[in-house]
Structure 1
Amino acid sequence: MTESRRRKTSLVADKRYPSKGRKPAATKRTTKPAGKKATTRKTSTRKTARKKTRKTSGGGGGFFRRMFRWIWRLIWGVTWRVGAVAAMLLALAVGVVYSSLPDVDALLDGRARGSVTLLDRDGKVFAWRGDQFGGVITADTVSPHLKNAVVATEDKRFYRHFGVSPRGVASAVRINLSEGRGPLSGHGGSTITQQTAKLLCLGVPFEPSEWESEAAYESDCRQGSLWRKAKEAVYAMAMEVKYSKDEILTIYLNRAFLGAGARGFEAASQRYFGISAAEVSPSQAAMLAGLLVAPTRYAPTNNLQRSQDRARLVVGLMEAQGYLTSAQASSARSNPAQLSEAAAARAGGYFADWVMASGPEFFTRNTTEDVVIRTTLDQRIQKSAEEALQFIFQEKVREGSKAQAAIVVMSADGAVRGMVGGRKTRVSGAFNRATQALRQTGSSFKPFVYATALELGYSPLDTVVDEPYCVNIPGSGQWCPKNYTNKFYGRVTLADALKNSLNIPAVKVAEIAGLDNVRTVASEFGIDSDLAQGPALALGASESTLIEMTGAYAGILNGGSAVEPYGLTELKLLGDQTPVMVTTTGIGERVINDKAAKQLTWMMERVVSEGTGARAQLPGWQVAGKTGTTQAARDAWFIGFTADYVTGIWMGYDDNTPLSGVTGGGLPAEIWKETMLRVTEGMTPTPLPMLAPDPPVRTAQPQQQRRKNQTGLDRAINNLLNNIFGGN
């Protein structure tokens, strides 16, 4: 009883961790405490309960979990194996491309064509043609500003990726989709390495025999299909393995197309600024780098303001990426890049095209070499012609007129000093009305009729009767020419007939001198076009070009020798000292004697001083020339010369629409005068090489005796009329 009533002590777990600062009390027993056993039993009980719960739940959740794990293991197993195989194939592809890559030096100039640099008569560059390559530059020698501008604009992570930028591609796809385009249309997300791979056409060289044209080859290189992009990525990664980053950038700097025929940044810098790419300022570097997105659109020679606006965006990128300080960026924005004097002038576009078309094809249009051509162009005279044409059309032609005009200025030996082929003067590759337009010459052809007569011994003071005149032309019927004024002037001298541009005397003189002889003289003077067979030849019914006509007049000025207009004086390969070609003069065989040429010049001087060409008078200078107006005023000409230069003017519509109120003695003569006022500025007047004819000896004679002493030309005309009209 006593024991049963004994109070039982409560069970208290042993303290596992002693109080701070106290040592645990020593225990006598070595057996596990009761608390530990209870914990063990409790844990065991929980595991048993968990197993029972799984069994009572029917196993549904466990099944799905096991299924998920199985699918996941399957996908993972397939994925890493496929990934491993893909990585092996990619590595193999990269290795194959790597083994085919040449040294860097072999990739810096991959042009299929060469370039042509054109110099004026003073040796200054005024035009470029072909694929211009200024020389090799490297990432080390180029201006740091240009290097930074390219990286900032095209690939800011260039020095951190392995040739392909997944972030860049993803960003480009997102932008394209947001702008309503396909994922691969528009922004490409290409790195500089990928762009370089594209410039190299993935290592496929241009073979003319395998491609329709070089343009077709380049179009194929630029295609953007998914398969092409994949090959481009492989090629880019192989380049990253083969070359250093700076070597890749060097290839890119030398191969990129930058507008106006410039291949590489050195050529572009020389083309637009006249300096090396190693010397460009931040604003110039920004303009050059801005061309990469669209070279033709942003070329400063096409639209300087647009190019400058694009450069400001590039300056902003350079500043944002730390390549320029705020002060440098502000200065670049405030002082945008400007074109060099030669690039801004774009002088002689028509002239340059003509030189390229008339020179040897294998050294001009299809050259595979870099060629330097020295020409006859005088940039002062070229500018004079351009300004004169613009002045007349601004001041004296109605606004909105579609009329065109052309100008050629040359020396007496045929050296062309200036050429304008249309109202748009700063162009290249355009239709050149000075060299390509075949137009009826009108009365500007008449000097060759009188040249023939003078060569045959007739005098400028010989006379011919201006009267109604008709000729039966086989197959065409009767033809009756009339004067421009619809009047007849009776007996006139040859000099007066030319001075007043009378038609009937010109036709009669051509018949007397012989139409075949007239055609011979004209063609030997350089008019190569098909010349009319009938008497209308005398009135300029044939077609010719302005440069042919101007060259023919140069033959009159130089004393009667034929002239071949020329623009090329020296052709050399770049770097060579010895010229491949040299031209010193265009003068050829003599056509008429010196006396006839000087007398004809005297006759043509009276055209300007007293006749139809009066508007071309040049104060202080002797001027000879001839007007020309074709039927219905579809063409108007004035070609004239001083002792130093021959200048030809043509005016008309490209579609042969008649001019309104314009004759050769009107606007064309005024364009001539405005041109020559500028050309002769500061020059000392020189007299023309002309010879006045000896005056005829006049004595008082009965009328019958005077008839016996009529000039040889009169007798020839009377004989001709007797033959034509049977003595009536």
Structure 2
Amino acid sequence: MRAREKSDRGVVQSVVLFLGVSVLSGALAAGLAIPFAGLAGFGTEKTAETLQDLPIELKTDPLAVKSKMVAADGSLIATLFEQNRVPVKLAQVAPIMRKAIVSIEDDRFYQHGALDAKGTLRALVRNQSDGGVSQGGSSITQQFVKLSLIEKARTPEEVKAATAETYQRKIAELRYAVAVEKQYSKDEILEKYLNLANFGDGAYGIEAASLHYFSVHAAQLTLGQAAMLAGLVKNPSGYDPTNYVKRSKDRRDVVINRMKELNVVTAKQAADAIRTPVIDPKKVRKDPNGCATGNYPFYCEYVMAKLVDSKLFGKTKKDSEHNIKTAGLTIKTGLDPRIQAAAQKSIDEHSKPTDQAVSAVTIVEPGTGVVKAMAQNRPYGGGKNQTAYNYNTEKSYAGGYGGFQNGSTMKAFTIAAAIQKGFPLNFHINSPPTLDLRSARFSTCDGFTQAGDDYTPKNSTKAGGDMTMIEAARASTNTYFLQLSQQVGLCQVSKVATALGMRNGQTGEPLEQVVSMTLGVGLVTPLMLSNAYATFAAHGKYCTPVIVTGVANAAGKPVGNFGPNCKQVIEEKVADATTYVLNKVMQPGGTGGRLNFGPSDLAGKTGTINDNKAVWFSGYSSRLAAASVVADVHPSARNLIGQTHDGHELGHDVSGSGTAGPVWETALKAALKGLPTTHFTQPDDKTIRGDVKDLPSVTGLSPQDATNKLQQAGFQVEVAPGTVQSGEQAGTVAYTSPRQSEGAPEGSKITLYISDGTNGQQPPGTPTTPGGPGKPPKIPNCPPWNPKYPNCGQH
């Protein structure tokens, strides 16, 4: 008896509440906020407070629309979304779809206002009898409000509040619904609802759902298709036809029969539709989402990392990623599919995913910094012989590997620093096979650094002796460049390298100024190195690497400022003279000689680090610059000798030219195919000769007198060990390096060669490269504008 009384009382309370809500809907429409005192005791005070606090207008966020990333030619790289949605106008939705959703969700939608009184009374009575909220009575307008509030929720608390099964929330939704009905027409509300609704299996909005399940546009939907989609909104996961075919069919048929009851369709139309399959599995279209599903996952992830770092789309990483994936952006990148294909084909020709060693190459456009391609032998993924690391980029994001030591490719920056300081290209330094640098001091930006007490570096090639800068570059002579960097100063080398974008790929800090800096230092990336060399190709104009060339919003308007960001960082003459030297590396007899190809001028430099842990080749034409690396990525960085590369075990001939060089050559050759032939700018004669100072004549003087005289003139002095054949008196100076006729930059080191007193005079050691000491190809032996060298052309 007591239970019966409780049930009756509940029904009465529901009726009273319904009457109150009915009055409320009219009151709200008039813009009033009435207290709910007396409404059957249902949290009246809290409900009144809720209503008082609510604004009378529902402010909705823009629909979450998927963004896309495209290559330079406009082809798709990836789609990016949190909700797969393609908004459409109501006119682009088949009339039968509109009728289906109205029939099953709110058949009196066009007759009632914000509240369907009949449906609400039915739901209230049922819910009160059940002791909770088990049946809905919401109109399409109220459903739109609820979905909008859920869409706006950003925190778990906000989501909980937007979905709480309470009468306070239902009444709050009603107030918003009244405002929506005043603001929009019924067709506009239906359009917004159809674009917002979740249709299951990752499809949001009617257009995306139509394309996903049936591979047709919303305007082409049939009765059976429309009914299936209309049935989904009640329980998108529970009625998902890709997982629950029978359940989905039963729900679809309920919709069709309801449409028949309402005379929306005929009995025959309903029967025919019920006989059709729910979906054709062959036509279900999975929309790829994210970088991993595209053809260029490494490049794509790097783009995303840079966009997030820009803070243009949000202050936090989470906000940035959310906004990028929901704003309907078109992200335009610098990736050139033709050049990317050339790079990847080269990787595939010269390496294999199963190799122990990794191979990578980056191609950049000089003068713009646009990154045209990045390729590597390990494909993207978490499986065997796959990786999530991008071996071309710095460790500025989770997927960035962070680089490898770059070996002798670093010598290019020493060359540029020397030219910048006025050193001539034929500057002579005696370069023995082994150089004793024990406890040697090198100047830095902060003072000095000192070599260890056991540092005696060797040359990796047989070339040596009295060499010029060009000869030493062609042979990659370590002992020459160590001495040159000592004379130039590590600070100058560091400044040039930093200006050209060379930094530690792990930390982003400037490269360390250590004695061996010119032989490779820190950890650098193919992207970093190719872009630095591109600066030489661009006559000293450095451009920040460009991954994103532009971003447009959903309306097609530009967002942010992307594209080339360039500035002149070294003088044109310095860059062109550096290119002149690196071009000689590519000539016959140079370490890059066998990599030269085609009619366009090429310049480049090899690089091999200690214990062969990584080998490099970096080079360029005027149009494209590329850097390739073959390296070990084991945590302990092992020697490449004995590891597999291109399916074969590497022997003792691991080198920049022979191992990494072919990757560079094949990639750049294919990338340049079809492009106009280009030639480098010849540096002016004065730059080639350098900013030199007269050398006083010291031939025939004692070593001490010669040293004093040269030091008084502002030069450093060293005496070469041993003696040379000479007609000068034994124990006196036979000649100097550089020669008196050549002059030398102020403050540079002059080497004295001591005579043995015999007849005949020859330089100590013979370079293995053409041209001979002091006579590099096409370089005049003396400056034509300076008459102070009467013995021009003589030793």
Q: State the TM-score, normalizing by the size of structure 2.
A: 0.58
Residues 115 and 370 in structure 1, CA contact (< 8 A), matched pair in contact too: yes
> What's the counterpart of residue 410 of structure 1?
365
- Over the residues paired in the alignment, what is the CA RMSD in angstroms? 6.0
From 287, 304, 314, the counterpart of 1:353: 304
State whether residues 88 and 207 of structure 2, in contact with CA within 8 Å, keep that contact through their aligned partners in structure 1.
yes
Residue 588 of structure 1, CA deviation: 0.7
What does residue 81 of structure 1 align with? 9
Against the structure 1 CA distance between its residues 331 and 129, is the aligned structure 2 distance closer, same or farther, given a 3 Å change threshold?
Answer: closer
2:585 aligns with: 606
2:419 pairs with 1:454: yes
Q: Deviations 1:6-58 (Å, cap 9, x if unpaired)?
A: xxxxxxxxxxxxxxxxxxxxxxxxxxxxxxxxxxxxxxxxxxxxxxxxxxxxx
Equivalence map 1:533-682=2 (5 Å): 533-570=513-550, 573-575=553-555, 585-594=564-573, 596-604=575-583, 606-607=585-586, 610-613=589-592, 616-619=595-598, 621-652=600-631, 653=633, 655=635, 657-658=637-638, 660-661=640-641, 663-682=655-674
Q: Which of 195, 214, 218 is matched with 1:254 structurally?
A: 195
Contact 2:364–2:531 (Cα < 8 Å) also in 1: no
Distance 2:608 2:488 in 1: 23
8 A contact 1:557–1:601 mirrored in 2: no
CA distance in 2 between counterparts of 1:466 and 1:293 reads: 84
What secondary structure is seen at the aligned counterpart in 1 of 2:516?
helix
Separation of aligned partners in 2, 1:381 and 1:257:
41
Deviation at 1:396?
2.7
CA deviation vs aligned residue, 1:564-619 (integer Å, no higher than 9, x gap): 22344455555376x56556643312403426524534424524764444675445
**Would the aligned equivalents of 1:564 and 1:588 in 2 still touch at CA under 8 Å?**
no
1:113-153 Cα distance to aligned partner (Å, 9 max, x none)? x98655544556645557689774355533579879x97xx
Larger deviation: 554-563 or 85-94? Answer: 85-94
Change (3 A) 1:229 1:478: farther
Could you say if the C-alpha distance between residues 138 and 684 of structure 1 is closer, same or farther in structure 2, counting changes exceeding 3 Å? closer
Q: For 1:566, what is the secondary structure of its paired residue?
A: coil
**C-alpha distance in 1 between matches for 2:120 and 2:388:** 42
Q: Distance in 2 between matches of 1:542 and 1:275?
A: 55
Residue matched to 2:394: 436
Residues 720 and 82 of structure 1, relative CA distance in 2, 3 Å threshold: farther
1:466 aligns with 2:466: no
**CA deviation profile, 1:301-323 (whole Å, cap 9, x unmatched):** xxxxxx99669999978987779
1:380 to 330, 335, 338: 338
On the 8 A contact 2:331/2:550 being kept in 1, the answer is yes
In 1: Cα distance, 2:171 partner to 2:333 partner: 48
State yes or no: 1:142 paired with 2:88. no
Shift of 1:546: 3.6
Between structure 1 and structure 2, the one with the greater Rg is 1
- AA paired with 1:495? I
Q: CA deviation at 1:540?
A: 1.9
Alignment match, 1:397: 352
Residue identity in the other structure for 1:561: K
Structure 1 pair 135–407 and aligned structure 2 pair: CA distance change class (3 A): same
Q: How does 1:225-240 map to 2 (within 5 A)?
A: 228=165
Distance 1:159 1:130, change over 3 A: closer
Distance change (3 Å), C-alpha of 1:647 and 1:122? same
| Whole-Å separation in 2 of the counterparts to 1:423 and 1:272 | 35
Give how far 1:521 is off: 1.4
Quickly say closer, same or farther: Cα 1:373–1:352, change in 2 above 3 A: same
Check conservation: 1:602, 1:690, Cα contact below 8 A.
no
CA distance in 1, matches of 2:580, 2:139: 67
- Between 1:496-505 and 1:517-526, the stretch displaced more is 496-505
| Residues 164, 233 of structure 1: 8 Å contact kept | no
Instruction: Please list every run of 5 or more consecutive structure 2 residues that lacks an aligned counterpart in the other structure.
Output: 29-50, 108-117, 128-132, 257-269, 396-401, 442-448, 504-508, 642-653, 691-724, 754-795
CA distance in 1, matches of 2:615, 2:24: 69
Q: Which runs of 5+ in 1 are unaligned?
A: 1-70, 171-183, 207-213, 298-306, 723-728
Q: CA 1:287/1:435 → structure 2, altered by over 3 Å: closer, same or farther?
A: farther
The answer to whether the 8 Å contact 2:80/2:289 transfers is no
Encode CA deviations 1:173-218: one digit per residue, 9 max, x unaligned. Answer: xxxxxxxxxxx9xxx9999979866643469x55xxxxxxx36467
Amino acid at match of 2:336: D
Q: Is the 8 A contact 1:561 1:587 kept in 2?
A: yes
Give the 5 Å matches for 1:113-192: 118=69, 120-122=71-73, 126-127=77-78, 136-137=87-88, 141-142=92-93, 157-158=104-105
For the residue of structure 1 that corresponds to 2:606, the secondary structure is strand
Per the alignment, do residues 432 and 398 of structure 1 end up closer, same or farther by CA in structure 2, a change over 3 Å counting? closer
Task: Give the aligned partner of residue 259 of structure 2.
Answer: none
* 1:535 positional shift: 1.6
Is residue 72–residue 332 contact of structure 2 (8 Å, CA) maintained in 1?
A: yes
- Give the secondary-structure state (helix, strand or coil) at the position aligned to 1:565: coil
Alignment check: 8 A CA contact 1:414 1:566 kept: yes
The alpha-carbon deviation at position 409 of structure 1 amounts to: 2.8
The amino acid across from 1:597 in the alignment is D
Query: 1:523: how far off?
Result: 1.6
Match of 2:62 among 109, 112, 125: 109
The amino acid that maps onto 1:463 is H
Deviation at 1:453, TM superposition (A): 1.6
Quick one: structure 1 residues 142 and 689, their matched pair in 2 at CA, closer, same or farther if it must change by over 3 Å?
farther
Check conservation: 1:608, 1:616, Cα contact below 8 A.
Answer: no
For residues 665-704 of structure 1, what are the structure 2 equivalents within 5 Å?
Answer: 665-689=657-681
- Give the distance between the partners of 2:235 and 2:664, measured in 1 at CA: 41
Preserved CA contact (<8 Å) 1:408 1:418: yes
Decide whether aligned partners of structure 1 residues 549 and 608 sit closer, same or farther in structure 2, where only a CA change above 3 A counts: farther
Kindly state the Cα deviation for residue 556 of structure 1 after the two structures are TM-superposed.
0.4
User: Shift in Å at residue 335 of structure 1?
Assistant: 5.0
Alpha-carbon shift at residue 447 of structure 1 (Å): 0.4
2:12 partner SS: helix
Mapped partners of 1:690, 1:327: distance in 2: 80
How many residue pairs were aligned? 600
Superposed displacement of residue 544, structure 1: 3.5
